[in-house]
Amino acid sequence: MKAPSKQTSKLISYWLRHNPEDAGFTMDEFGWISIEQLLQALHCRNLEIELQDLLLLNNSFDKVRWEVDASSNRIRATHGHSVAVTLEDKIKHPPEILYHGTSVRSVLKISEQGLLSMNRQFVHLSETEETAISVGKRHGKPIIIEIETEYLVKNGWVFFQTSDNVWLTTPIPTQYLRFRPWFSIENIDSHFINELKREIGNRRLHFLYQHLNNLKAIWKSSASDDTLFQDQETGICYMVHLTYTKREQDVDRWPNIEKYKSIEEWIEKGLWNDQQSFYGLK
């Protein structure tokens, strides 16, 4: 019986990425298996395709999934492995900037834990903002994370390039991640707290006055003087446009403040909206 392409491609990718033992494959350390083995395994599943059908199927994808070495009659997955494979034959020096696309609901966890490989062997990175956005959209409202690879390479990270320009590396800690135009300032928040206190001063009528001692500065915009403060008791966030002026502030207008019920709401509305403007997406 001729198998639907979608069913066949999913099964092949499952074997090559995650479970070669399910089909009885002998996979080498670089993830290669014999095409003859693959066709025989498909035959055993009543999926009758020939080599030419396999090649046509591989070329039909909008994103390369498999790599075929015709000279040695082998095939392997280009990326997405959860089984341990060595990709030393594809070690490359990466571009200065790589991107990772995710969704707004994953940003907080990533900002706290770094980029993890999850159920894969490697973290997957893109060469362009457009690709990262496309990846992020698969999971919801997209957020782009930038990685300056120079610092990673200097500290021992190795990068692998797949045939469809996906870049693979080991998990990346938070200090190497950039959520432009915002960046984390949790370790240097005293300067921003002191400035906020100075601008509000002794104005007891200001709605933030009674919360000043509970606030912590956690994010700063590189595109403006906006700073994100979080109330450590309630979790409420305040995005404040600090003015750095020496003049007495107006109670009703300055500093300008936007209130969010949680860090998650700020990520979904504040960070996401700022990225739309920063990357020219709106």
Which tokens is 200 given? 């509000």
pLDDT of residue 199: 87
**Residue 137 is assigned to a structural domain of this protein:** yes
**Residue 83 is assigned to a structural domain of this protein:** no
**Residue 24 is assigned to a structural domain of this protein:** yes
**Residue 202 is assigned to a structural domain of this protein:** yes
**Residue 82 is assigned to a structural domain of this protein:** no
Do 188 and 150 share a domain, yes or no?
A: no
Counting the structural domains of the chain, the total is 3
Do 189 and 241 share a domain, yes or no?
A: yes
pLDDT of residue 97: 97
Do 94 and 12 share a domain, yes or no?
A: no
Do 30 and 115 share a domain, yes or no?
A: no
Do 173 and 189 share a domain, yes or no?
A: no
Q: Which of 77, 101, 121 is the last residue of a domain?
A: 77
Which tokens is 255 given? 């500093």
Among 242, 237, 244, 243, which residue's Cα sits nearest to residue 271? Answer: 237
Q: Which of 179, 204, 221 is the last residue of a domain?
A: 179
pLDDT of residue 177: 96
Do 54 and 95 share a domain, yes or no?
A: no
For 76, 191, 235, 260, 276, the CA distances from 204, given in Å and listed in that order, are: 67, 22, 22, 22, 36
Do 116 and 53 share a domain, yes or no?
A: no
Among 1, 13, 10, which residue's Cα sits nearest to residue 46? Answer: 1
pLDDT of residue 222: 94
Instruction: Extract the runs of DSSP E, i.e. beta strands, from the chain.
Output: 33-34, 66-69, 74-77, 97-103, 123-125, 142-148, 160-161, 167-169, 177-178, 182-184, 215-221, 226-231, 237-241, 256-260
pLDDT of residue 255: 83
pLDDT of residue 159: 95
Do 58 and 134 share a domain, yes or no?
A: no
Do 127 and 69 share a domain, yes or no?
A: no
Q: Which amino acid is at 55?
A: L
8 A C-beta contact, residue 122 and residue 195: no
**Residue 225 is assigned to a structural domain of this protein:** yes
Among 62, 43, 53, which residue's Cα sits nearest to residue 5? Answer: 53
pLDDT of residue 1: 47
Q: Which of 77, 100, 130 is the last residue of a domain?
A: 77
Name the pTM for this structure: 0.77
Q: Which domain holds residue 50?
A: 5-77
**Residue 159 is assigned to a structural domain of this protein:** yes
**pLDDT tens digit at each of 282 positions of the chain:** 455 577 889 999 999 999 999 999 989 878 999 999 999 999 998 888 888 888 888 888 877 889 999 889 999 998 889 888 877 777 899 999 999 999 999 999 999 999 999 888 899 999 999 999 999 999 899 999 999 999 999 999 999 988 778 899 999 999 999 999 999 887 777 899 999 998 888 888 788 888 999 999 999 999 999 999 999 999 999 999 998 877 666 555 678 899 999 999 999 999 999 999 999 886
**Residue 250 is assigned to a structural domain of this protein:** yes
